[in-house]
Structure 1
């Protein structure tokens, strides 16, 4: 029997306080969920508080059948106030000094990291030195074959040039959107087209793959030798929460399965478009029914 792929999302774990009520949030959990929808086993490495909101998160992770590498700490469970624009685009107000700022690696987590086929981390969970150091240690516990995915995920003012550079050095796969690429271009003084900037990032940081998503304008996948562009499907958007995380999760499983770049890209686009048609980041779906839902 073929070994089941094992992927870990590391970083922020919280409640998104949406207009219709709270929903489980944080890019790492979303990534793990969508990778699991693709047939992998997902795990989440984070921290929640010793409080009722933390209890609820642990219960939700268990219901999703995602492995828990979650520490309980004496800080409040993270929350984010989410406002949606008229076309479903979210803006975030992220509470500071919360549990996921204080991630600690258990011995069990260290053992699991060594088994991982892929791990995904971002810049947001590195805003605090404690979690930043633990995330770096976690990456060092993985094997040489493990995909280290930096889903840059710039939020508010919670990032620095130093953290971004170090993360780019640590990763071998990068996921970035067009707005984030513009921020990095201004930060580093890059010139040229978006494609040229992506090719520079691949060459300079020796990346195996780079994903550039551009919202309604489409998306790109790059490797050293290949490039794929696809338009974004036209769908009725409920909200875009978690769409980027679903793209990353699907993309990584496709890469681990050694699928052709065009096939990886098409499935990532289809799933992320479907997620936009549903409220929240983790809708249930059957992969063979996705195209029926978005008319692809």
Structure 2
């Protein structure tokens, strides 16, 4: 007759196996708490206050501060086509405490004369998009035009050459494209340091039109002092349902969508990046944040680092090809 210990061995083994499965499952399903900062975070905006990048940064910074229970301070560092602020982020410690909000123009830095071929993307990690918005072609309401074709026809026949405002590198490339492809061979490009000054001069018709974000132009469009003639997305902007896209207006080559994206110094650990993405997903659910993004003519788009990195590479290829056709001077 087998001993009691031998009779209990199968039951003991079954119990041990069940305990092992339970422990393994618990370990596998346990998720570490997302990274969050333990002190102030700086969010750098490499452009002047008042534009779409700045408005987006301030909206998300407020809510990230609430979620993290730490201050998130927006720091505007304009200059050198965004390189001054961008370089500050490039040189920061890769610990999640210095972030950068940038737009597609970042990919053109390496083509800009005088910047010695500096490529910020080689020293930054794309973390996530925050929102995206079609840019727009905006004209002074003092011009006798109401549509994009009318603007181009006016500029082709006007006794004085038309002028286009440029606040950053991408706008200068787009101005060259318009001059060559409309064509407007006498088009004068006037460079500015910020969107605010562009808007002021367009209202006064000191400069005739510009490529710009919807944010700064929208209140003046509604007031009748500026006219948004076309938006550059694949579909009409939700805040401007009556304004056609450039493709609908007959100029599909001027199609472009602006993303506002978060970057961190290269080498920022993956868990830190994931913690930022997780917090941002929650931040854009806030009604005030969504309202701020919507007022900027944009929509929230939070994605994973790998997805955003692919988006940046695609923009790099597209704009790289464009700048080779229309080199910066």
Tell me, yes or no, whether TM beats 0.5.
no
Q: Give the TM-score normalised by the residue count of structure 2.
A: 0.26
Q: So what's the TM-score if we normalise by structure 1?
A: 0.27
Query: Is the radius of gyration larger for structure 1 or structure 2?
Result: 2
Relative contact order (C-alpha < 8 Å, sep 6+): which is higher? 2
